[in-house]
Amino acid sequence: MSYNNILVEEKNSIATITINRPKKLNALNRDTIQELHEAFKAAEINKNVKVIVVTGSGEKAFVAGADISEFADYSVAEGTKLAANGQSILFDFVENLSKPVIAAVNGFALGGGLELAMACHFRVASDNAKLGLPEVSLGLIPGYGGTQRLPQLIGKGRAMEMIMTAGMIDANKALTYGLVNQVTSQEELLPLCEKIAGKILNNSSVAIASAIKAVNANYKDGVNGFEVEIEQFGNSFGTPDFNEGTTAFLEKRKADFPGE
């Protein structure tokens, strides 16, 4: 499948999705959000893909925000629809994928860019990364899940400060806050993500999908995460991956998980 705003590469069971609008600092417009949805969906159903990495093209930005020119004249109803549709087809969609999604944050991750990174299962940043939610400086608030996911990741007080000041934090502060998992040089960013993906590939993709579902359940209103964990744990005993994993352990060999 060909795209106008993104690039997709598949190698060694890793799909790398690159937002490719460098002249716009990879800003998210409607078309890019739709293309990202299609690329993530394709990676999800592709049995050869086990891990997904998302990043931005060029050296300046992961995603420097939304394309403001698209919605500068929106009405209340249009703005509401913009947020609802975006969350549905991309941000919530990514969070609930059954395959691990790693955000390789190179440079600016602002507004919708940080919201996309936070929707991923975890984040690795280059040492020149700058992260923030500047929406209140435009008379807006984050609309793609930022007010929900940022407090979950760094705590209410720090999230309130970041949102209210519209300020950016650097990669090292983001690491201290727990907003990113690791920081490395820009040159080593994708190789490090591939190294982490390689460790993930050693494990059961079926079990990982269950773990994602169980962890996410803790953050859903009206859902008892412990009950979801119990259910997913029990279901694991009925999978070929469980049989292979336990047999390999007892036979003191590396497991060769059959997967789905």
pLDDT digits (tens, 9 = 90+) for 25-38: 999 999 999 999 99
**Around Cβ 170, how many Cβ atoms within 10 Å?**
15
Q: Which pLDDT does position 67 carry in this prediction?
A: 87
Tell me how far CA of residue 215 lies from CA of 142, 175, 223, 242, 249, in angstroms: 23, 21, 11, 20, 25
Query: What residues does each domain of the chain span?
Result: 6-201, 205-250
Cα 44 to the center of its chain, rounded Å: 13
- Quote the mean pLDDT of the chain: 96
List pLDDT tens digits, range 109-118. Answer: 999 999 999 9
Rounded to 10 degrees, the C-alpha dihedral 30/32/34/36 comes to: -150
Say whether pLDDT at 260 is over 80. Answer: no
Please report, for residues 43, 71, 81, 208, the alpha-carbon distance to residue 5 in angstroms, rounded to integers and kept in the order given. Answer: 17, 19, 22, 30
- At 16, is the secondary structure helix, strand, or coil? strand
Count Cβ neighbours within 10 Å for each residue of 16-36 and write b for 16 or more, e otherwise. bbbbbbeebbbbbbeebbbbb
CATH number corresponding to 6-201: 3.90.226.10
pLDDT for res 126 = 98
Angle among Cα 22, 35, 190 to the nearest 5 degrees reads 55
Catalytic residue ranges? 115, 135
State residue 248's pLDDT score.
Answer: 97
